[in-house]
């Protein structure tokens, strides 16, 4: 990054007037960037400000009026959503869906990733190419039969159904990521461990897992946020179950209120608080998950 930036400052323009004229020339660049940043930030800021205004104010004046006194800030919306049937409960549901789904998925994927990377077996390439292909299969192509299956065995609407479904849909990509990472670890380490008599379980547990902690961490964050933010899977398999997560409850509230949905600003803030906190504090892992996921949808 520094290399690319320094090439832009030409050495012979480093005189005082040169610097000033360079600043003027670069003004449009900065202006453009500030405009982009404003467009990308204002919608979220607007929602955030609105969520702290009286519900009546939200439908009678824009959020920006609160930036000037009298701001009349209140937590009325937050109180309203907590009193709204099902919302508080759905926050807990979201956690109870996302945490186990993440654990199940990452554990299975790590084991399979190791096997695909360091074991030789017939059909390995066929299985793995299938997994690569499955990464882009739209889950819509599976919804009807899987829903029928869940109904047939009587688990539709339960946490178990959603954990299993998320695991099934997420595993191809997770396996792909972990296989690539674990397969990229130095071969010599695994070979010398083998010569020293370390079995596969030992090599997996004492070499592959500890060395893959960064990528496993990135995956945990990535999967957790994906499930936390998911709408389609929960909407399909949860029906009207009391186990519905927050995304489903909020969506159903949005679509059922023609007007007067404004108090849901608070619900949106609560729903996105966790992803944003994760993003701001664990940005490095999050960005890594995103970049590695370039092939995924």
Question: Among the candidate windows 66-74, 76-84, 208-216, 281-289, which touches other proteins by CB under 8 A?
Answer: 281-289
Stretch in the footprint of other proteins (CB under 8 A) among 12-20, 58-66, 69-77, 189-197: 58-66
CB of 158 to other proteins, least distance (A): 9
138 near other proteins (CB under 8 A): yes
Buried b (16+ CB within 10 A) or exposed e, 14-26: eeeeeeeeeeeee
Name the nearest CA neighbour of 80 among 253, 277, 238: 253
Q: Is residue 178 a contact partner of residue 109, using CB atoms and an 8 Å limit?
A: yes
Question: Is 28 near other proteins (CB under 8 A)?
Answer: no
| Positions 60 through 89 that interact with other proteins (CB under 8 A) | 60-64
Taking residue 296's Cβ as centre, other Cβ atoms within 10 Å add up to 16
Minimum CB separation of residue 128 from other proteins in Å reads: 9
Task: Report residue 119 as tokens.
Answer: 């074991």
Q: Which of 72, 124, 187, 284 binds other proteins (CB under 8 A)?
A: 124
Neighbours of 153 (CB within 10 A): 10
Closest approach of Cβ 236 to other proteins, in Å?
Answer: 7
* C-alpha to C-alpha distances, 29 to 11, 23, 61, nearest whole angstrom: 20, 10, 34
**Is position 46 an interface residue for other proteins (rule: CB under 8 A)?**
yes
233 lies in the site for other proteins, by CB under 8 A: no
Are residues 231 and 218 in contact, defined by beta-carbon separation less than 8 angstroms? no
Q: Which one among 66, 190, 265, 285 touches other proteins, defined by CB under 8 A?
A: 265
Residues 155-214 that bind other proteins (CB under 8 A): 159-160, 163-165, 167-169, 171-172, 175, 199-201
Dihedral (CA of 100, 101, 102, 108) sign: positive
Length of the chain: 297
Of residues 94-123, those binding other proteins (CB under 8 A)? 95-96, 99-100, 103-104, 107-109, 111-112, 114-116, 119-121
The reply on whether position 35 binds other proteins by CB under 8 A is no
DSSP conformation letters of 83-143? HSTTHHHHHHHHHHHHHHHHHHHHHHHHHHHHHHHH---TTHHHHHHHHHHHTTS-THHHH
As measured in angstroms, the least distance from the Cβ of 47 to other proteins is 5
Verify binding: residue 235, other proteins, rule CB under 8 A: yes
């Amino acid at each position: 990054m520094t290399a690319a930036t320094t090439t832009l400052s030409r050495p012979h323009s480093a005189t005082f007037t040169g610097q000033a004229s360079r600043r003027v020339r670069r003004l449009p660049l900065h202006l453009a960037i500030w405009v982009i940043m404003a467009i990308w930030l204002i919608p979220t800021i607007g929602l955030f400000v609105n969520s702290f205004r009286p519900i009546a104010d939200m439908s009678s004046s824009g959020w920006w009026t609160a930036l000037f006194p009298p701001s009349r800030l209140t937590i009325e919306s937050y109180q309203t959503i907590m009193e709204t049937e099902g919302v508080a409960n759905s926050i807990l549901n979201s956690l109870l869906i996302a945490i186990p789904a993440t654990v199940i998925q990452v554990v299975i994927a790590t084991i399979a990733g190791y096997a695909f990377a360091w074991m030789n077996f017939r059909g390995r390439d066929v299985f793995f190419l299938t997994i690569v292909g499955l990464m882009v299969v739209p889950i819509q192509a599976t919804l009807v039969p899987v829903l029928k299956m869940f109904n047939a065995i009587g688990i539709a609407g339960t946490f178990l159904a959603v954990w299993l479904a998320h695991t099934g849909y997420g595993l191809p990509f997770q396996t792909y990521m972990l296989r690539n990472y674990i397969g990229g670890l130095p071969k010599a380490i695994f070979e010398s461990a083998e010569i020293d008599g370390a079995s596969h379980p030992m090599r997996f547990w004492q070499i592959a897992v500890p060395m893959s902690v960064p990528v496993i961490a990135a995956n945990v964050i990535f999967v957790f946020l994906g499930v936390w933010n998911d709408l389609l899977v929960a909407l399909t398999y949860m029906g009207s179950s009391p186990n519905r997560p927050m995304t489903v409850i909020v969506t159903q509230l949005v679509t059922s209120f023609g007007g007067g949905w404004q108090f849901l600003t608070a619900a949106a803030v609560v729903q996105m608080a966790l992803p944003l906190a994760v993003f701001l504090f664990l940005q490095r892992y999050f960005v890594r998950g995103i970049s590695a996921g370039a092939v995924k949808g």
